Every structure is written in structure tokens, then in C-alpha cells.
Amino acid sequence: MDHQKIDELVAKIKALESELEVELHQEYERFTCEITKKREEILASYQKERQGALRYLVSAPILHLLSSPIIWSVLIPALILDAFVSFYQWICFPIYKVTKVKRSDYLIIDRHRLEYLNIIEKLNCLYCSYFNGLMGYITEIAGRTEQYWCPIRHATRVKFMHNNYKKFFDYGDSDNYRQRIAELREDLREEKE
């Protein structure tokens, strides 16, 4: 066995690894500089495009301003609904062995961080993100509940179908309903969290 040859190969490998590390670090530095530069450019353009809150309010149609309290009043029942549906899922889904719906998969609140939005627009984005995410969250909980208890399609065409609806049995298909309802319930246990 030629130990000298092995030592030479190991030394070459270490030298190449060191060279690779230097190159990767330089590439990372170049990339970081580009991102920082672009970020500064983007933030500067956002600052130019931002409309001040006062100017936003003054330029808003009067009916928009008058209707905003009505829009925001819906937040109160939405918060109550959120609490009740979350509590329902927390209590009942483990009883039925149904995988819980992850709230964070539906309530995505991030648009308020956009620098080109003024404070009013950011608050509006928070409201819309919460409310629409909540509706998706509740729809998924209701869909899983329906799949567990009543996985039968309607006799007439529905305008909106939740994700689970396509798995349901045809209207009037009593054979499949009786024979395969346990499969659909089992499917809810295997849902990915």
C-alpha cells in the first residue's frame, strides 16, 4: 500500500475543498451584495409609490368612507365564529379521529408588510387576509365534517365545492354509501397535517 500516494491525494482533496469553499464564499458575497442593492432599489421605489394616509382618505369616494364601518363591523362576528369553529374542531375531531385543520395553512397574514402601502391599506390587507383565510379554514373544517357525516353529492349542481366534495358519493347511490362510508372516514385520518 502506497501511503505517500494516499497522503498526496488527501492533500489535493483538502486543497480543492478549500478552493471550493473560497469560491462559494465569494459567490455568496456577490449574491448578497446584489440582493442588498436590489432591496434598496425596491424599497426606494416603494417609498415613491406610497400614498400618504391623509391623501388616501381625501381622494377616497365618500361612499367608501361611509361604508367602511359596516365592513369592519363584520370582524366581530368573524372573531366569534373563528373561536367557535376552532373550539368545535379541537373538541370533536379527536373524537371522530379526523385530522385537525392547521389554521396557519389558511390564515396567511403578510401583505401588510409591503412598504408601498400606507397604514390604512395595511389595515385593510390585514382584515382581508384574516377574513378570507378564516373562510378557507372554516370551509375545510366543514368539508371534513361533511365527509365524515354526510359524504353525498347534491342532486343539483353546486356553485362552490370544497376540496372533499369530489370524493363524495353520487346522489342516490345507497350501495356505495353503505359499503364505502368507512373508507371516506378513514381517509380523513390520513389527511396530511
Q: What's the pLDDT tens digit per position in 12-71?
A: 888 888 888 888 888 878 767 766 777 767 666 667 677 777 777 778 889 988 999 999
3-state SS string over 129-143?
Answer: HHHHHHHHHHHHHHH
pLDDT of residue 1: 54
Separation of alpha carbons 71 and 75, rounded Å: 8
Q: Which residues lie below 8 Å from residue 57, measured CB to CB, with a gap of 6+? A: 65, 120
pLDDT classification of 190: cutoffs 50, 70, 90:
low
The whole-number average pLDDT for the span 90-97 is: 95
How many angstroms separate the Cα of 159 from the Cα of each of 127, 145, 154, 165? 25, 19, 11, 12
The enclosing H or E element of 32 equals helix 3-49
pLDDT of residue 46: 66
Three-state DSSP class for residue 99: coil
The total number of residues written for the chain in this structure: 193
Q: Are the C-beta atoms of residues 111 and 125 closer than 8 Å to each other?
A: yes
- Which of 141, 122, 124 is closest to 82 using CA atoms? 141
What's the pTM? 0.71
pLDDT of residue 48: 67
Residue 2: pLDDT above 70?
A: no
Domain ranges of the chain: 1-49, 59-189
Q: What's the pLDDT tens digit per position in 96-111?
A: 999 999 999 999 998 8
Q: Are the C-beta atoms of residues 137 and 187 closer than 8 Å to each other?
A: no
pLDDT classification of 193: cutoffs 50, 70, 90:
very low
What are φ and ψ of residue 165, in 5° steps?
Answer: -60, -35
Three-state DSSP class for residue 169: strand
33-49 burial code (b ≥16 CB/10 A, e <16) = eeeeeeeeeeeeeeeee
User: Which range among 27-31, 88-92, 152-156 shows the weakest confidence by mean pLDDT?
Assistant: 27-31
Give the whole-number percent of the chain exceeding pLDDT 90: 41
Residue 191: pLDDT above 60?
A: no
